[in-house]
C-alpha cells in the first residue's frame, strides 16, 4: 500500500517478536530507496540515535516479504515502536489510542500490512500509509488522512512555485526524548518561514520523542495535528496556515500491492463494493470512493496479500534478551527450520539450558548466536543440515 489510507506487505524479514526475543530472517535489499532528504533538523535536545528508515521502493520491497510475530501480554506502543525500529519501518501511533493496550497475537508468514491490520482489528482502530510512515489511529481518520495530506499538497500549487516547493520539501521529524507538540509545530513553522493561525486551540500535551523519516511539510504537520482531530488550510497568500477541525474528503484513493492475482481480487471486490471505482494492475489495485467504503474494501485487499518467498536467503538474528539458553536454542532452531536436540538424561546439560543468559546481538549468524548463548557454560553444540545438537564439552 503506498501513500493512501486503509481502514484496516531467501525471505524478507521473518520476525519472531516476543516480550524477550526478536529473531529476524532477512535478505539483502536494495539501498537505492533509503531515505534521502535535504533537511536534517532535529528539534529539541537529547538527540537519539537516528534510524535509517526504509522509504519508497525499499519500503515497498520490505513490506512484501514475510514476517512471523508472536506477542504475549505486550503493551501496544512499547512493542510497536520496538518492532518499528528493528524493521526500520516508521510507525506513528495517534495520541488518542491508549498506548498501554495489551496485545496478544501469533502470526506466521504475513506481510507487514497484514500484521498491522491484525493489530488494528484487535484495538478496533484503522491504519494507513502516509508517504513513508504507517499511521495507526481512529478508523475514520485512518481512512482519509493520506488523501487529506495529498489534497493539501495540491492546494499549495495554487500559490506559486515557491510555496509548492516549500510544502513538498522533504524533512525529517526527529526530536528529543520528550516533546511538546504545540512548540514543535511553532519550530517547524519558523524553520519553513510560515505562520500558524489558531495554534492556541491545541491543548498542552507531552509526547515521547519522535523519529520519523523524511517527508513533506504537509505530511509532518498533518501527523502532528491529527491526534487533536485537527488539520489546516491555507490563507489567501499561502504564507499562513489556519488550524481547522479535521474533515474527511468525500472521496479517497488507496492502492494495495503484493496481490498474487490482482485481477481476481479486484473482480471479487467489485461484486461486493459496487459503488467503488477500481483500477487494476497485475499485482496491485487502486480503489476510489467514500473513505469508509474504500477502507472496508482495503481490509479484504490486504487479507489477500501474499508475502514474496525468495530462495537463497541468509539467516541472521537480532535480539536483546535475557532468556534461558534452551529457549534461545529452540527458537533459533525453529526459525532456521532445524531440529533441536540434547541429552535430556544429563542433569548438567538440562541445568545449563535452564540458566538465563543476557544476549545483545545485531544481524549475527546462527553459529555466532549459539556461541554467544553457550558462553561461560559447560556446553558445546553442533549444527548439521537438519539439526542443532547440544552436549557437554
Sign of dihedral through CA atoms 329, 334, 335, 339?
positive
Instruction: Give residue 273's pLDDT.
Output: 97
Q: In this prediction, what percent of the chain has a pLDDT beyond 70?
A: 85
Average pLDDT in the 193-203 region? 95
Average pLDDT in the 6-18 region? 39
Instruction: Give residue 361's pLDDT.
Output: 86
Please, what is the average pLDDT of the chain? 84
- Give me the sheet containing 133-137, strands edge to edge: 5-6, 126-130, 133-137, 91-93
More confident residue, 366 or 234: 234
**pLDDT band, residue 49 (cuts 50/70/90):** low
**pLDDT band, residue 1 (cuts 50/70/90):** low
Give the span between the Cα atoms of 131 and 129, in whole angstroms: 6
5-144+250-303 and 316-392: same fold?
Answer: yes
Highest-confidence segment of 42-51, 102-111, 174-183, 311-320:
174-183
Environment class of 269 (CB within 10 Å of its CB; exposed 0-12, middle 13-18, buried 19+)? buried
- pLDDT tens digit sequence for 343-376: 888 999 999 999 999 998 887 888 789 889 999 9
Task: Tell me the β-bridge partners of 70.
Answer: 106
CB atoms within 10 A of CB 157: 13
- pLDDT tens digit sequence for 54-70: 999 889 888 887 776 77
Q: Which fold has domain 154-245?
A: Phage tail protein beta-alpha-beta fold (3.55.50)
| Per-residue pLDDT at 331 exceeds 80 | yes
Domain boundaries, the chain: 5-144+250-303, 154-245, 316-392
- Provide the CA 180 distance to its chain's centre, in angstroms: 23
Q: What letter does residue 384 receive in the DSSP assignment? A: -
| Per-residue pLDDT at 156 exceeds 50 | yes
Domain 316-392, CATH among 1.10.10.10, 3.40.50.1370, 3.60.21.10, 3.55.50.30? 3.55.50.30
**pLDDT band, residue 309 (cuts 50/70/90):** low
Give the span between the Cα atoms of 210 and 47, in whole angstroms: 10
Average pLDDT in the 91-113 region? 91
CB atoms within 10 A of CB 176: 16
More confident residue, 15 or 276: 276
* Residue 169 · residue 38 · CB < 8 Å: yes
pTM greater than 0.75:
no
| Per-residue pLDDT at 186 exceeds 50 | yes
| Per-residue pLDDT at 38 exceeds 70 | no
**pLDDT band, residue 200 (cuts 50/70/90):** very high
CB atoms within 10 A of CB 18: 18
| Per-residue pLDDT at 382 exceeds 90 | no
Average pLDDT in the 23-45 region? 35
Give the span between the Cα atoms of 72 and 256, in whole angstroms: 29
Q: What is the CATH number of domain 5-144+250-303?
A: 3.55.50.30
Instruction: Give residue 19's pLDDT.
Output: 36
Give the span between the Cα atoms of 209 and 46, in whole angstroms: 10
Give the span between the Cα atoms of 373 and 164, in whole angstroms: 55
Amino acid at each position: 500500500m503506498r501513500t493512501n489510507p486503509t481502514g484496516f506487505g531467501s525471505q524478507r524479514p521473518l520476525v519472531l517478536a516476543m516480550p524477550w526475543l526478536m529473531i529476524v530472517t532477512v535478505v539483502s535489499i536494495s539501498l537505492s530507496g533509503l531515505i534521502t532528504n535535504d533537511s536534517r533538523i532535529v528539534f529539541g535536545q537529547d538527540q537519539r540515535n537516528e534510524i535509517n528508515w526504509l522509504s519508497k521502493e525499499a519500503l515497498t520491497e520490505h513490506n512484501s516479504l514475510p514476517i512471523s510475530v508472536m506477542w504475549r501480554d505486550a503493551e501496544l506502543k512499547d512493542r510497536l515502536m520496538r518492532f518499528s525500529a528493528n524493521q526500520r519501518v516508521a510507525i506513528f501511533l495517534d495520541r488518542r489510542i491508549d498506548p498501554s493496550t495489551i496485545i496478544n497475537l501469533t502470526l506466521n508468514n504475513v506481510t507487514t500490512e497484514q500484521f498491522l491490520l491484525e493489530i488494528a482489528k484487535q484495538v478496533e482502530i484503522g491504519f494507513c500509509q502516509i508517504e513513508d510512515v504507517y499511521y495507526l489511529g481512529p478508523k475514520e481518520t485512518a481512512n482519509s488522512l493520506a488523501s487529506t495530506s495529498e489534497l493539501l499538497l495540491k492546494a499549495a500549487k495554487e500559490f506559486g512555485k515557491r510555496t509548492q516547493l516549500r510544502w513538498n520539501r522533504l524533512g525529517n521529524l526527529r526530536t528529543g526524548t520528550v516533546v511538546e507538540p504545540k512548540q514543535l509545530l511553532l519550530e517547524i513553522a519558523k524553520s519553513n518561514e510560515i505562520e500558524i493561525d489558531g495554534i492556541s486551540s491545541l491543548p498542552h500535551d507531552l509526547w515521547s520523542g519522535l523519529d520519523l523519516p523524511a517527508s513533506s511539510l504537509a505530511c509532518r504537520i498533518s501527523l502532528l495535528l491529527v491526534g487533536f482531530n485537527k488539520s489546516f488550510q491555507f490563507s489567501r497568500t499561502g504564507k499562513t496556515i489556519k488550524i481547522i477541525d479535521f474533515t474527511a474528503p468525500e472521496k479517497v484513493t488507496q492502492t494495495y500491492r503484493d496481490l498474487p492475482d490482482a485481477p481476481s481480487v479486484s473482480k471479487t471486490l467489485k461484486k461486493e463494493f459496487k459503488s467503488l471505482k477500481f483500477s487494476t494492475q497485475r499485482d496491485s489495485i487502486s480503489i476510489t470512493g467514500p473513505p469508509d467504503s474504500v477502507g472496508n474494501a482495503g481490509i479484504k485487499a490486504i487479507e489477500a496479500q501474499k508475502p514474496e518467498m525468495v530462495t537463497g536467503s541468509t539467516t541472521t538474528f537480532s535480539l536483546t534478551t535475557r532468556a534461558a539458553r534452551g529457549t534461545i536454542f529452540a527458537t533459533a532452531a525453529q526459525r532456521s527450520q532445524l531440529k533441536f536436540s540434547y541429552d535430556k538424561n544429563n542433569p548438567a546439560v538440562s541445568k545449563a539450558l535452564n540458566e538465563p543468559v543476557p544476549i545483545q546481538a545485531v544481524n549475527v549468524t546462527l553459529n555466532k548466536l549459539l556461541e554467544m548463548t553457550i558462553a561461560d557454560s559447560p556446553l558445546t553444540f553442533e549444527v548439521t543440515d537438519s539439526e542443532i545438537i547440544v552436549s557437554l564439552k
